[in-house]
Amino acid sequence: MHEGIHLGVLAVLGICVAGGIIGAWIFQKFNVPQVVGYIVVGVLIGDTGFGLLHPQDIAALQPFNNFALGLIGFLVGGELSGSIFKKYGKQFTAILLGEGLAAFSLVGLASTVIVYWVCHDWVTAIAAGVVFGAIASATDPASTIDVLWEYRSAGVLTTAIVAIVALDDALAMTLYGLGTSVATILTQSGGDSIGTTLMHTGIELGGAIVLGIACGFVLDAMMQYLPQTEKRLGMSIGVLLVCIGLSVAFNMDVILSTMAVGIVLINRAPNRSKKLFETVRSFSTPIYIIFFVLVGARLSLGNMPAWIWALVVTYVLMRSLGKWMGAYWGGRLSKAELPVRNYLGMAIFAQGGVAVGLSIVASHNLQHIQVTEAMSLGDMIIFTVTATTLCVQLIGPAFAKLAIKKAGEIGRNVTEEDITAELKVVDVVDTDIVPLLEGTPLNEVVQHFAEQEAFVYPVVSSDGTIIGVLTFDMLKELLVDRDTWQWLVVGDVMKPLRHHLLSTMNLAEALEEMRNNQVEALPVVENEESGKLLGVLDQRAALRSVGAELVRRQTVAV
């Protein structure tokens, strides 16, 4: 694109949404999670690719990114009821410390060795290693949670993943505060002491939690006076925007504060808030798409020396190994379930906004320290974390999908609406119902109704063409006059066929059509051309089939 041409904000948003959907569709064809498609599209339209999105465009949308992170935090908090922490709190703590500290240690040691090999200065190398280790402990909740939602995952592993990625921010920021303090002291940069830095970090984390709890209580109080779903949605978005804005203004963690809002809401009013969380999630898809596309567009990988790529590869391998091993041993020590021990580590490889944000802060603090003549320690951290973020954002969602697949938890977080949207009429049609001939005497029909469970029967002519329906309600007024049974036939009391269903129709659409026409059952034909009768779709029987399928999916053995 010509340097003088800059797209407006609306055009940028349009490109992000449309391009992201196309990218997700392509990657899903290859069984790759949709979030990878969003990020790749972002890379292609950013500076690394065609340059359609300029850095100033991306910077202008930073408030939008904060809003997306706030929604993610709110929805994650909605998954964390008090009963979960009461049951799994010990496991979560052990796994969190295990995977975070293992990634911190392995990445820190490996990075120290490589940086020393480049600059031959142990002080600078150790400072870099400590900062890299602290950043490596962070996990991206956004892309990980997106995979869980995309594949409708549910189970002990899914619960553990949600809790760990939600709490990882706090651990990463604590380790980062410790790491940067050590780095500034070692390099004599005049930074704050370790105690001062940790105190500031604690204030920021504690402030985020207190702010979120306060906003949660406000939102819960307001929801009691707003029975309408749309008004509750508007109020929740307003409170979240206030919470996000205050978090940004006071340099507090956005995800942690909005997560606290969700936790308060789900624990104080679980039944009332459940519908709200579903509504927020239903409208948030375009926001997530824009967020992830902008993540990809922000990744600039040009002008990186060859030795940086060696550091990138080492960082990715050591971080992945640390996450995997740490989660396994944390789960083993806390006696977590087998799926959690074996697969949680591979589900938390993704690295995103928190790591990039910490690297930006580190680059400002360590910009004056030279690793080589052409590169400062701050620039090295930015380049490395940017490249590693791209790598793990591409592999992380795929491994998260593999983890929940191995644990047998894909497709278990479904509702009746999800199943009716998936099924076709042919999947639940009752094909055992024998149609009635229009010339059949009523005395035979009454006996037929008495022996069978069905209350609706299709009526066919002598050549097999469906011409109407006969229901039990139509016979009620004739039951008291048995004399008419001998001379009346089905064709005399049936209703002419005005509506029928096609076997290929979506079940949800078919049930909606039946409700609109106020009928309990309708005949089903193979197609319009042949008109061949397949059976009858009964609303009650169809909903029983959907309920049975829901139970089957939710109780699939791990």
pLDDT recorded at residue 177: 66
Domain ends where: 413, 433, 466?
A: 413
Query: What does each C-alpha distance from 101 to 105, 138, 290 come to in angstroms?
Result: 6, 10, 32
Are residues 401 and 468 located together in one domain of the fold? no
Return the DSSP state at 505.
Answer: S
CB atoms within 10 A of CB 307: 16
d(CA 437, CA 90): 68
Residue 184 within any structural domain of the chain: yes
Residue 475 placed within a domain: yes
Domain co-membership, 390 together with 404: yes
Query: Do both 26 and 43 map to the same domain?
Result: yes
Q: Are residues 359 and 429 in the same domain?
A: no
CATH number at residue 541: 3.10.580.10
Same domain, 356 and 292: yes
In sign, the C-alpha dihedral spanning 151, 157, 159, 164 is negative
Are both 307 and 167 inside the same structural domain?
yes
Whether 449 and 397 map to the same domain: the answer is: no
| 208 occurs within a structural domain | no
Q: Could you say which of 388, 413, 438 is where a domain stops? A: 413
pLDDT of 301: 61
The pLDDT value given to residue 215: 94
Count: domains in the chain: 2
Q: Which domain holds residue 545?
A: 419-554
Q: Is residue 260 part of a domain?
A: no
Q: Does residue 440 sit in the same domain as residue 409?
A: no
In a domain, residue 275? The reply is: no
Distances (CA, A) of 293 to 76, 212, 272: 21, 27, 33
For position 319, what pLDDT does the model report?
92
d(CA 464, CA 49): 63
Indicate if 96 and 179 belong to the same structural domain: yes
* DSSP class per residue in 487-547: H-BHHHHPEEP---EETTSBHHHHHHHHHHTT-SEEEEES-TTT--EEEEEEHHHHHHHHH
Rg (CA), the chain: 30
Question: Looking at 413, 443, 468, which one is the last position of a domain?
Answer: 413
CA 232 to mean position of chain CA atoms: 22
CATH number at residue 355: 1.20.1530.20
Provide, for the chain, the percentages of residues in helix, strand and coil under a 3-state DSSP scheme, each rounded to the nearest 5: 70, 5, 25
Measuring CA to CA, which residue among 240, 292, 332 is closest to residue 41? Answer: 292
- Rounded Cα distance, 522 and 527, in Å: 14
Cβ atoms of 226 and 276 within 8 Å: the answer is: no
Q: What is the pLDDT of residue 555?
A: 62
Residues 188, 45 share a domain: yes
List the one residue out of 227, 246, 296 whose CA is nearest residue 40.
Answer: 296
Tens digit of pLDDT per residue, the chain (558 long)? 444 445 667 787 888 889 889 988 887 777 666 766 787 888 888 777 777 777 777 777 778 878 887 887 788 777 667 766 676 677 888 888 898 899 999 999 999 999 889 888 888 888 888 888 888 888 877 778 888 888 888 888 888 888 888 777 677 777 776 776 676 666 654 455 556 666 776 777 788 889 999 999 999 888 888 777 778 888 999 999 999 999 889 888 787 788 889 889 888 888 778 888 888 877 778 887 887 788 777 766 666 677 888 898 999 999 999 999 999 999 888 888 888 888 998 888 888 666 766 776 666 566 677 777 767 777 788 778 877 877 887 788 889 899 988 888 887 766 667 777 778 888 888 777 777 787 777 777 776 666 666 667 777 777 667 777 777 667 666 665 666 666 777 777 777 767 778 878 888 888 888 888 777 777 787 777 666 777 778 777 788 887 777 777 666 533
Residues 405 and 447 in one domain: no
Check residue 535 and give its pLDDT. Answer: 76
**What gap in Å lies between CA 259 and CA 237, rounded to an integer?**
14
> Residue 324: which of 65, 48, 37, 95 has the closest Cα?
95
The pLDDT of residue 1 is: 41
Residue 239: what pLDDT?
Answer: 93
With respect to residue 214, please indicate whether it lies within any of the assigned structural domains: no
Q: Please report whether residue 228 resides in a domain.
A: no
Strands 521-525 and 533-538: antiparallel
Contact indicator for 164, 348 with CB cutoff of 8 Å:
yes
Task: Specify whether 83 is located in the same domain as 187.
Answer: yes
In-domain check, residue 508: yes
Measure the CA–CA gap between 191 and 183, rounded to whole angstroms.
Answer: 9
